Structure 1
Amino acid sequence: MMFNLADFERGAQFGGEYREELSALQARLRRVQRAHGLHRRRTVILAEGPDEADREGVIRRITEACDMRHASAFQIRAATAEERAHHYLARFWARLPGDGRLHLFDRSWYGRVLGERLDGLAQPLLRRAYDEINEFEAQQTDSGTLLIKLYLHLSAAEQDRRIACRIDDPWEQARLTPDMLRARERRVDHGRAVEEMLAFTHTRWAPWTVIDAGHAPSGQLTALRHVVERLEAVVPSAPPEADPLLIARARAMLADAQG
């Protein structure tokens, strides 16, 4: 499937009441996460996109509604020297969810075909990385893990506006990063890399959803709605069957205590 990022640059604002819609979506997420845990399902939600595209905001809206005893959020930074001594996927295996858990990734293994590509990753290694990532994700979904992949996109004008806001606000200046400025300097190359990544790794078992993040509240609601709908589509809404002998034993214990 081919992607044209220009198709996701309207920056349309949410027309309703943001807090009301957010509350309704988060209530649905709380319900479905409870069923997710009871049915011992596994889910990975990953968010990619430029630093200015509000990945943190999207993940925060999800974690606000989650029972974090059964969920974890990871902010993926540049690999350490120890991590670089292993295959680039090695550090992600330990972060994959077990039964009943939901794990969120702010950036992910896609750094291999985005950041490392801009650093000069050789073309044969790039092609191999696409195959390795697709196989890695197929292994997860074949074992029952749901993968929800979000790419948050900004137009060039909106990206520049948000960078300018960080420059002008002393409290935001610390959030400027070398990666942010490098991506801005090589915006055309970065955009081509993203479109190629989406095309090569959009699979039937792990499809991409591109979010127009030009208006932060609208982007947050769109992303949250997609996550909730994906979970509701695969997590049974009825409770799992309990052990009838255990229930009978509990009833008998209470009856004896009352008698």
Structure 2
Amino acid sequence: MNLRLSLKKIQKDDALALLTEYIPTLSIDYKNHKQVFVESPTDRKYYQMLADKLIQEKELENKLYFVSNSSGKGNCNEVINIVNQLRKGGNNSCFGIIDWDKTNDNKDHVLVHGKNYRYSIENFFFDPFYLVSLFLEMGNPHNVRDELGFAEHYNQYLLGTESVQRLEEISSWVESKFQDSFQNSDMSERLEVEYLNGKKVSLPKYFLLENGHSLEEKYKEVFPALNSFKNNGELVEKLIGIMCRSYPFIPNESVQVLKQVSES
């Protein structure tokens, strides 16, 4: 007897039911998975590593998957356009996150990260505290351990447990090094930023509102030890990893934008 096989289009829920019919303990709900479009591979690394950590800590309801322009030359308009097109095509599980850049506002299903607090994503991981944690991890570059009085076996990932006064001392050390190289850098104007662990620290607007790419180049000039990271994206990935290992000492603005996407 000849059997004739044919394909028949069915709904995604029905397909999942057939695939998992004999696996009663497995639960798959694609509706709890959301795609989030971002501006660059750097953004993708930042958000994915942070979102995975928040999922691990039961801080997010839904799994988030981040997508970027692979060339690294994406921008906020591309993110807005692709989310709009996918939404028009019926994809209701896609969102976008873009940098503030001092001009952007939330749009339909596209959220601004760090509005009124940090210029771009670089201003989040080039945070004075993550930089000092990195220096402690590296040993004693720029005499950080001696000048700030850290014990030899101090756990750099517990920096966020220090008092606000101690954190401000640490920030002041970074500020003074910066002013030694860039004497016109104004550290007097400040903003209070909050971390998930509840710590609120006053940081210079110079670190928060300076163009992120420019800030990165200046940090490398102030702290030559950062130039030891030769490979493209190596320094960025290291700082993001330190931020995640410092949990819950992570920027509250980042947590809130991810929660907003997850709960939408």
TM-score by length of 2: 0.24
Specify which structure has the higher proportion of helix. 1
TM-score by length of 1: 0.24
Higher relative contact order (CA 8 A, sep 6+): 1
